Amino acid sequence: MRKVHAITLLSVMAVLVAIAACERVIGMEDVPSQSYNTLLDALGEDWGSLRGQIYFPSEYTQRSVAFRVDDQQFVTHPDGRFHIIRIPSGSHRFAVSVKGFEPVDNEIAVATDEENRLSDVRLALARGQVIGRLVFLDGNSATGLQLRLEPNGSRTASDGDGIFQFIGVNAGEHTLEIEDPRFYTKTLKFHLAHSESRNLGKINVFLRPGAESSVSYNTAPIR
């Protein structure tokens, strides 16, 4: 029985060594490979590999960037190249999300026992804009309130007329949150199309008790 177990273990080890050797041969020697699955997870499964490159609009801003294949996260080489091994064959989601750029979310196909090449992924600058005005119920503008836009994490403050603006916003689902501690938390969800300029209009805000003395008002008419 021990001999059988020993032979089985040696067979598994031989397969693992063969797979690793094959990956070294077909791998991109100057770009470290990243693995979707471990060697053990890949045993008995059909799998392939994927290579490609993610480009920023300017060579001066080219850098490493995180991306996802399904729910697995990877990082490119500083010049944008990547090489992923042991990906189960079939369809997968390839996604890139970088602040200030339009998101990429594509379906890709990985063929069995092949090194699949993904077409160059070129990131586009986000050109969306979001604008709005914070007002009290009496019509006065609320100035200097802190706001945050998720999921890109941008922050700004309302100006002297209660107006706020976010520029370079990518397309997709967004949540605007008033995070000023003097006010009750308020959130607003909306969808922004590519290069869309969205006016959210007047947004009513509500003070927390005892905060009146620390707030600036603008009594000018709302334009």
pLDDT tier at 42, thresholds 50, 70, 90 = low
How far apart are alpha carbons 109 and 89 in whole angstroms?
A: 7
Residues 188 and 78 in one domain: no
Residues 65 and 152 in one domain: no
Q: Are 174 and 166 in contact (CB under 8 A)?
A: no
Residues 192 and 176 in one domain: yes
Label residues 20-39 b or e (16+ Cβ within 10 Å = b): eeebeeebeeeeebbbbeeb
CA distances from 164 to 9, 129, 130, 186 (A): 65, 11, 8, 15
Label residues 103-134 b or e (16+ Cβ within 10 Å = b): bbeeebebeeeebbebeebebeebbbbbebbb
pLDDT tier at 146, thresholds 50, 70, 90 = very high
CATH number for the domain spanning 206: value is 2.60.40.10
What pLDDT does 30 receive?
A: 77
pLDDT tier at 25, thresholds 50, 70, 90 = very low
Domain ranges, residue 207: 128-218
Residues 132 and 118 in one domain: no
How far apart are alpha carbons 17 and 140 in whole angstroms?
A: 72
pLDDT tier at 128, thresholds 50, 70, 90 = very high
Residues 75 and 132 in one domain: no
The two three-digit tokens of residue 182, written as one number: 């003097």
Residues 87 and 168 in one domain: no
H/E element holding 41? helix 39-42
Query: What does the mean pLDDT of the chain come to?
Result: 84
What is the average per-residue pLDDT within 82-106?
Answer: 94
Residues 26 and 109 in one domain: yes
pLDDT tier at 180, thresholds 50, 70, 90 = confident
Residues 54 and 85 in one domain: yes
Residues 90 and 134 in one domain: no
What is the average per-residue pLDDT within 117-132?
Answer: 94
Domain presence at residue 68: yes
Q: Give residue-wise pLDDT tens across range 152-175.
A: 889 999 999 999 999 999 999 999
Domain presence at residue 223: no
